[in-house]
Every structure is written in structure tokens, then in C-alpha cells.
A and B are shown apart, each in its own frame.
Chain A
Amino acid sequence: MTLLGDRQQLSYIAAQAADARVNVELETEGMTLNIGPQHPATHGTLRIIARLDGEQVVWAEPSAGYMHRGYEKLTEVRTFPQVTALVNRIDWLGSFANEVPFILAAEKIMGIEATPRAQHIRTILFELSRIANVSLFLGDLGVQLGAVTPVFFAFRDREYVLNLIEAATGGRFHPNFDRIGGLKDDLPAGFIDETRSVMKKLRNFCDEIENLLFGNEIFQSRTRGIGVIPKEVALQYGLSGANLRASGVDWDLRRDQKIAMAWDKVDWKVITHPDGDSFARCWVRLQEVRESTRIVDQLLDTIPGGPVMVKVPKIIKVPEGEAWVSTENPLGEMGYYVVSKNDQGPFRVKIRSASFNNISIVPWVLKGVYVPDIITILASLYFILGDIDR
């Protein structure tokens, strides 16, 4: 953690302590505030139980499980190709990104690797789903602070990305496009030109959001120095993704691990921010959308030729073995531990989804904040309920 972050954290704690003293003098009564299970700020159905002292939270606890659909059990009664249709719906905003680690794990057990073209297109679609995911976050951020305009911008420009995904995969929301050994289809005609123009639009969208929100004084005062997560705490709680990078940890699985994807073939950089507050988390995500558009642009220039599918049998049987593959999904590290017993379906799948670990810090970070800040902190942590409860 940098000196700046240290000082900010200390001054914030000091301010909170001063306020707490005032509250003690006034003898405000305790009360329990129940946020959710259905609340717009929770991106679904998370319930937060907060015990308040006046305007301050003294204790907060997320109550998950309202969206628990039993994925890990369901995967045991599905075949391998069927599982991708299920896992699409874990993080429903970046659906394609959910399929990739599972398919990579299955391929790892089978000992096959997708063709270079398939890997390339996978990476493009992966980044497109990241853009679709995070652009909605950027719009939603305004709503949590009372600014409704950004969400219109976000939905407008997100449609272009969804159209691209639909053109390539046939599914606007849940592509179910990844196959063991490659992809279902090749890219459609005109996809590359269309994607280039959409990436230009998305960069404009980032500029717009930066002008609309990030320069706004109200936005800054509501997010700067609020919800500070120091580096050590972030690591202890197992945060991942942009939440971790916003605390100054230079960690990105796209760069740090060698997997059969095309990120190592292009020039991009990992965005970090030293502060660890709500603003840093939002800022890192905004920059990541920009980086993603750059990645996609470069990948479009270098798509190799060849087939998109290697030879695999019609009825896929995965030999006995175990594999763990995780990727840097829009929300953070998402991994699958697949155990196969030489059958058509997996024997057991353990799903590590990013949001579950990301919200584990909620009790820590909400301690001592004011009630309105609960919403901005939750919004900036950015979780998706399907990703928490599975």
C-alpha cells in the first residue's frame, strides 16, 4: 500500500471515530436495517442485514442463498456439452466467459487443445462479454448515486456488443457457443468490420461516462476515501479481479498464467490503482473496458486461418482425471475443478466464482460506514447474484 492510501485510510478511520464519539454522546438507539432481498443496489437478490447506530453501521452481514440454484449438483446429472448451457447463467452478464474455463478444464483432462483460430475467437468473445458486463456496471453506478442518465448510455452501447455476440453465436445473452475442442461455428461474414466500429463506439462510451460521472464532484465525494480496502486485507479475504487491482495488487490471470487463449499474443497492460476505495474500483473497471477494446482490436487484425474445431468424437467421453482451470472473468477469478470418471458427464464440479469471495469482505468493509455509503460500496464491489449463490 502506498503512503497516500495509508494516510487516506487513517484519516477516514479518524473521522469515523470522531463521529462515533458524537453518536455515543447523543446515545442514539441501535436499529437493524434490512436491505434486500430484493433491492436494486444488490444486482439481484442479496440481503444485507446491517445493525445501525444512528447513521453508522456497526455490524453488517450479507445473507446469500436467495438465488441458489444448485449448479454443482446439477452438473453431475448433465453431459459435458450440456454443462455449458448451465454455466452460462452463473454470471449472466458475461455469459461466454463462464463457459471458457469449464471447457478448458475438460480439454485439459482429454489432452486436446483447440485450434489457434478457435482460441483467438474465444478470446475475442471473452473480451466482448467482459465489455458487455462492465459497461452495464458503469451505467448502473450512476443509478446507485442518484444519477439516472448514465444507465441509458450504458444500455444503448451495450446493445451493440450484444448484437455482435448474437451475430457470432446466435445467443444474445447466453451464447452456449464453446465446444470441447473448439467452437460451434466460425465467425459470420462482416463480423470483423462491425466489431471494429463497435469498439470505436465503446471507446466513445468510456469517454462519455468519464465526463458524466468520474469528473462529477458529487460522484467523487461519494466515492473517494469511502470503502477503503487495503492491499493486505484484500489479499486475506481472497478478492480477485478489479477489486483486487484497485487495492494496488498487480494480479491478472490473463497475463500471469499460461492457458490456451490468445492474450499473450497482443499488447495490453494490467490496470491497477493504489487507493483501494470505491472510486479506485470504478476507475479500474472503466480503464479495463478501454483495454478490452484495445485487445479486441488487436486480435481482429491477427485472426489465424484454419478450422475452428479439432476432431472429437460425436459422443464425448472424458477420460478419468481431474483438472483445475481458472480464468480472469469480468468479475474476477473464476475456476472449475472438474473430476471425471470416464463418463459422458462430470463426476463432480467445484465452481469457484469471483463474487462469492468478493462479497466476503462486506462485513469488514461496511463496518463504520454511513448508511448511504452502503449502496455505493456494494455497487463498487460489483457482484452478480448468480455468481455468488450459483
Chain B
Amino acid sequence: MGLVDRGRLPKPLTTLFNMGRSYSMWVYQWGLACCAIEMGAAFGSPRYDVMRLGVIPLPASPRQADLVVISGTVTDKMAPAIKRLYEQMPEPKYVISMGSCANCGGPYWDSYSVTKGVDQIIPVDVYVPGCPPRPEALLEGIVLLQQRIKNEDMGARWRGEGTVPMNAVDGESAERGGVPVVAG
């Protein structure tokens, strides 16, 4: 586009783009533990049906995904694989950390083999607490992420400043951008 990378996108156009992005998220599921089943219930079951929110589960590879849901216990053996697959995702990319284990270690906070939080490896946009969170909680996390995307300044994301709200004042924008959302 040229306009985007110079950060000079007109605001109406940004709003339009953001709306489009927030309602067509391809989500890569990183099912690890118990939460994977609840994520499966949220994404694959007729009762919760995530597609009504404009989220498309099951892309063929992380290279086609906009969002990754890290659901479950991240172990030290798994951590390099997570980092590698996250790096394969194209920008702009978002991360939802689902469940206590991915947030902070959860019930395995004193285990020798568990990574205490996936945010040690990759940046997280939305935390969904619970052990495991109900499917509704994951849906709320997705809605929160969509709100965040709608207000995002695409130029800042392009310049590598992370998620910055459109109406942020210059100077403090970078600081405000990094604050993750907690669902529930």
C-alpha cells in the first residue's frame, strides 16, 4: 500500500481495514492440554459455534493464521516449537493465552518441567483465566481481541510498535500498546 508502512493511512480507511481484519480471523489452534478440549468445544461444537463471531478455525498451517490460541500447559520441551511456529505466522498476528497453565503455570507453578507462562516466549494479547476456562470465556477473549483490533493503529503495528490504539496521544502510545487484556 505504501500508505500503511509510512503510517499515513486515513482514519476511515483504517477503520474499514480493522473491521475487515477483526471479523475474518483465521485462528490456529495450539491445543496442548485440557484447555484444548474446551477450545474444541468452542470451535467445533454446535452449541458455542465460534464462526458466528467471524473467526475461522482450522487453517492448514500457521502461515495462514492471524491468531493463535495457546491452550494448555506449555512445557520447556514444547516452548521452542511454540516460538518457531509463532515466528512463522505472518504479521499482523495475535496471541490468546488460554487457561491458567498458559497464563502463569497454573496448578504446576512449582513443577520442574513447566514453563511458567507462555508470555515468557511470545507476546500475549489476551489472557483467558480459568482451569480450564469454559468455552464462553474463550469466546469473550476473542470478542475482546476483536475490539482491540478495531481500535488499532495499523501504522504503528507496521513500524513494529505493537498494538497501539488509534486515538492514542503521541509519545505515550507505545507504552499503552503493550498492555494485554484479561478476559472474564
Contact = CB atoms under 8 A, between A and B. Distances in A.
Given A66-B75, A66-B77, A44 B32 contact: yes
A253 interface: no
A69 interface: yes
A386 B34 contact: yes
Given A65-B77, A66-B77, A89-B107, A159 B33 contact: no
Nearest to B85: A38
B81 A38 contact: yes
Interface residues of A, number: 31
B36 A44 contact: yes
B37 A69 contact: no
Interface stretch (B18-26, B41-49, B163-171, B172-180): B41-49
Contacts of B120: none
Contact of B37 (A65, A156, A173): A173
A385 B37 contact: no
B59 to A, nearest CB: 12
A69 B111 contact: yes
B37 A68 contact: no
B54 interface: no
A151 B38 CA distance: 13
A152 interface: yes
A136 B36 CA distance: 13
B179 to A, nearest CB: 29
A40 B46 CA distance: 19
Most central of A40, A45, A386 by chain B CB within 10 Å? A45
Most central of B33, B46, B108 by chain A CB within 10 Å? B33
B131 A174 contact: yes
Interface stretch (A70-78, A202-210, A286-294, A303-311): A70-78
A86 B101 CA distance: 12
B30 interface: yes
A128 to B, nearest CB: 16
A156 B46 contact: yes
A364 interface: no
Nearest to B132: A173
A152 B75 contact: no
Nearest to B81: A37
B78 A155 contact: no
B134 interface: yes
A37 B129 CA distance: 25
Contacts of A38: 30-32, 81, 85
B50 to A, nearest CB: 12
A38 B78 CA distance: 9
Given A38-B81, A92-B34, A69 B75 contact: yes
Interface in B67-120: 72-73, 75, 77-78, 81, 85, 107-108, 110-114
Interface of A: 37-38, 40, 44-45, 65-70, 73-74, 77, 85-86, 89, 92-93, 136, 151-152, 155-156, 158-159, 172-174, 385-386
Given A69-B73, A70-B108, 10 more contacts: A44-B32, A68-B75, A69-B113, A70-B112, A74-B111, A93-B37, A151-B44, A159-B47, A174-B34, A174-B132
25 contacts: A37-B81, A38-B30, A38-B31, A44-B31, A44-B72, A45-B78, A67-B75, A69-B75, A69-B108, A69-B113, A69-B114, A70-B114, A73-B112, A74-B110, A74-B111, A92-B33, A152-B45, A155-B44, A155-B45, A155-B46, A156-B45, A156-B46, A172-B134, A173-B37, A385-B33
